[in-house]
Amino acid sequence: MKKVEDYVRTIPDFPEPGIMFRDITSVLQDPDGLQTAIQGMEELLKDVEFDLVVGPESRGFIFGVPVAYNLKKGFIPVRKKGKLPCETVEMTYDLEYGTATIELHKDAIKPGQKVVIIDDLIATGGTIEAIVKLVEQLGGEVVKIIFLMELEGLNGREKLKGYDMDAVIRYPGK
């Protein structure tokens, strides 16, 4: 039986020399790869009590929605600024070059709800750190953060100290 990492395509020197790009489209396009990835994430949640799954657009939607569906939980989308139609809370965070702003509906998470955050990748951790702050601002409790892949060489885990975080696949480099 193949492991999830067997479905990940590695592209050397993309987007610049020295980078080993880990492409998840090869996981998504293979039915067994996609199922293995979702099952791997669900396995990381087997002993976790929670109410909601939160995921950032767009790849957090890809993995978070099937996990929420399979485990009979609600899914809360985190969107780029200006994409949600109701009243929102927002958080601006730093990117490599510039900033980005994300939003959640103000009524999406009730005080005391236990939240799992799911995304495809943790690199520097800035996006997820901003999501954690939004969840907590609304009174939610982040009980687990799950990624398909972690690029350990970029030290994103440092921004999420104190949170239960896991990844299906860990790559030692960048």
Positions annotated as catalytic residues are: 59, 96
Residue length of the chain: 174
> Would you call 44 exposed, middle or buried from its count of C-beta atoms within 10 A (0-12, 13-18, 19+)?
buried
Query: By the 8 A CB rule, do 91 and 123 touch?
Result: no
Q: Among the residues of the chain, which ranges form H helices?
A: 25-28, 31-43, 59-70, 126-137
Q: Which amino acid is at 41?
A: M
Sign of the four-CA dihedral 44, 124, 63, 173: negative
CA–CA distance, 155 with 173 (Å, rounded to integer): 10
CA–CA distance, 51 with 48 (Å, rounded to integer): 10
